[in-house]
Amino acid sequence: MALILYLQPHKRITLKEYLTLAEIQEDLRGGDLTCVKLVSHYLQNIESNQHLNAFVEVYADEAREAAIAVDEKITNGTAGRLAGLVIGLKDVLSHKGHGLQAGSQILKNYQAPFNATAVQRLLDEDAIVIGRQNCDEFAMGSSNENSSFGPVLNAADPTKVPGGSSGGSAVAVQAGLCHASLGSDTGGSVRQPAAFCGVIGVKPSYGRISRYGLIAYASSFDCIGPITKSVADAALLIEIMAGADNFDSTVSVNEVPAYSRNLEWSGKARIGYIRESVESEAIAPDIRQQTSDLLNRLRAEGHEVTPVEIPLVDSLLPTYYILTTAEASSNLSRFDGVRYGHRSAEASDLESLYKKTRTEAFGNEVRRRILLGTFVLSANYYDAYYTKAQRVRRLVQEETSRFFEQFDFLISPVTPTTAFTIGEKTEDPLQMYLADIFTVQANVVGNPAVAVPNGSDENGMPIGIQIMAPYFGELKMLAFAQYLTELNRKSAAILNTNH
């Protein structure tokens, strides 16, 4: 996508790398840094990294104007809690008056008529939105290769995928094109790209954050989640976005704890880890190694670390794909060319309008899933697939609840491999679906899970570790994630001094 030159070369701004918003805000208070400088810095980075294809659209002028306004508020002492945060939004989140396409041509020229609740809450605290980010079409994919805007490249190695479906959002944080991103996670779409790009991604509990204004893929699975460089920022963003909302009846009215102020972990955790994740040949050797090294560090710190079997693990992906495609086939029926988005020019009657519009504008993966979903919901097969998958979902939920009676956290790698080569899995959907083997459980049961960086493989590609917690157990989960990143930092420091 062609972008205009934002800056004159002589105005080049170099800022230090900020891990947390708190550090940014400290410098903003100090007076050396301004939001205007921050925005220019990110625009400059976006400009010089266009080849990554992380953004579908950049709001340069608007972000600059917003920066001036927030700088003024800072001077007046009226700035919100997110002053200084420059954020990008996955192209599935409604942002009033801005393009919204879910990476698809079927929503060509569509503009969001209102703000998603999550987006509104960030804006209310003075976050600055810098653009909308590339993703797999309708959030269906694990590699960002299903976007009608073309693939996103992994900044650690541009021949590799960034993961998906929030690929643009993960790369934008990885490559410093914005400070944080908002993605959506239906089966791993925040955590898996975060792991492939070496950043942090959180899927909160189902119902923690309102889905109002999020384009639906599979409504009983979809969650909005942040992608950041620090656990502290993820905690703050969730805290601000979460909580009751009159526009989404599935969102919980449970009080939102102050996650960001309770990140100190103390005590010993009871940790279960999936035995296969450190033993199975199907997991990349470097990932097994890094995972078991981390488990050993946790043991050495006095935590109880126990291997567990998840008996229903083989049923997770089939259950996920039956239920999500069923829900998607229903959710996506609204895109018919009648009211908005693409409309076929070839149609001669209503039926051909539907058929031609949808055939022309949906990509292959979306079509595959609509067909699959329609099939599993069809009268003759409904009980054999849909009803059965619902039952299995319940069993997995019960099994997971039993697990969390004995353990505080379930730990596993985020993915069985590191980022793969672009094109490597596009012909084999089943191989592609396997990329989600560790992430889908949290969505099938609704529990929260976080992906945290855990070293890299021999080629320097990032590896992630996942912590899953009990339903609505974000508070402890985030504190433990914070603790774990510190533990990893310490051990990396020791390794460096030994070499």
32-61 residues in contact with ligand GLN (CB under 6 A) are none
Nearer to ligand GLN, 189 or 291 (CB): 189
Alpha carbon distances (Å) from 448 to 122, 233, 341: 21, 16, 34
Q: What token pair was written down for 486?
A: 């510190």
Residues whose CB is less than 8 angstroms from the CB of residue 136 and which lie 6 or more positions away in sequence, other chains included: 103, 142, 143, 144, 145, 146, 147, 164, 165, 167, 189, 365
Nearer to ligand GLN, 282 or 495 (CB): 282
One-character DSSP codes across 67-115:
HHHHHHHHHHT---TTTT-EEEEETTB--TTSB--TT-STTTT-B-SS-
- Interface with ligand GLN, residue 115, by CB under 6 A: no
* Identified binder of ligand GLN from the candidate list 165, 252, 329, 357, rule CB under 6 A: 165
Q: What are phi and psi of 143, to 5 degrees?
A: -145, 0
- Interface with ligand GLN, residue 416, by CB under 6 A: no
Q: By beta-carbon distance, which residue lies closest to ligand GLN?
A: 189
**Residue span 418-437 as binding mask against ligand GLN, x where in contact by CB under 6 A, dash where not:** ------------------x-
Nearer to ligand GLN, 40 or 142 (CB): 142
Give me the catalytic one of 189, 210, 230, 329: 189
Alpha carbon distances (Å) from 229 to 105, 199, 398, 433: 31, 5, 34, 26
Instruction: Please choose, out of 68-76, 183-191, 451-459, 474-482, the segment that lies near ligand GLN by the rule CB under 6 A.
Output: 183-191
In angstroms, give the least distance from the CB of 376 to ligand GLN.
Answer: 15
306-325 residues in contact with ligand GLN (CB under 6 A) are 324
* Identified binder of ligand GLN from the candidate list 28, 74, 140, 419, rule CB under 6 A: 140
Nearer to ligand GLN, 145 or 185 (CB): 185
Q: What is the CA radius of gyration of the chain?
A: 22
Residue among 185, 226, 259 at smallest CA distance from 85: 226
Residue 184: is the preceding peptide bond cis (ω within 30°)? no
Instruction: Please choose, out of 181-189, 263-271, 274-282, 406-414, the segment that lies near ligand GLN by the rule CB under 6 A.
Output: 181-189
* Identified binder of ligand GLN from the candidate list 52, 54, 139, 389, rule CB under 6 A: 139
> Which segments of 301-417 does DSSP mark as H helices, in order?
313-331, 350-361, 364-376, 388-406
- Interface with ligand GLN, residue 217, by CB under 6 A: yes
Q: Is 266 a catalytic residue?
A: no
* Identified binder of ligand GLN from the candidate list 142, 252, 357, 417, rule CB under 6 A: 142
Q: Is 205 a catalytic residue?
A: no
Q: Is 189 a catalytic residue?
A: yes
Q: Look at the chain and count its residues.
A: 499
Identity at 97, one-letter amino acid code: G
Cα gap 152→133, rounded to integer Å: 10
In angstroms, give the least distance from the CB of 121 to ligand GLN.
Answer: 22
In angstroms, give the least distance from the CB of 472 to ligand GLN.
Answer: 20
218-277 residues in contact with ligand GLN (CB under 6 A) are none
Q: Is the separation of the CB atoms in 160 and 116 below 8 Å?
A: no
Cα gap 176→161, rounded to integer Å: 17
Which residues pair with residue 184 across a beta bridge?
Answer: 224
Nearer to ligand GLN, 140 or 284 (CB): 140
- Interface with ligand GLN, residue 168, by CB under 6 A: no
CB atoms within 10 A of CB 487: 16
Instruction: Please choose, out of 133-141, 170-178, 255-263, 341-349, the segment that lies near ligand GLN by the rule CB under 6 A.
Output: 133-141
- Interface with ligand GLN, residue 185, by CB under 6 A: yes
Nearer to ligand GLN, 115 or 189 (CB): 189
Cα gap 109→90, rounded to integer Å: 16
Would you name the residues annotated as active-site residues? 90, 165, 189
Positions touching ligand GLN (CB under 6 A) are: 139-142, 165, 185-189, 217, 324, 436
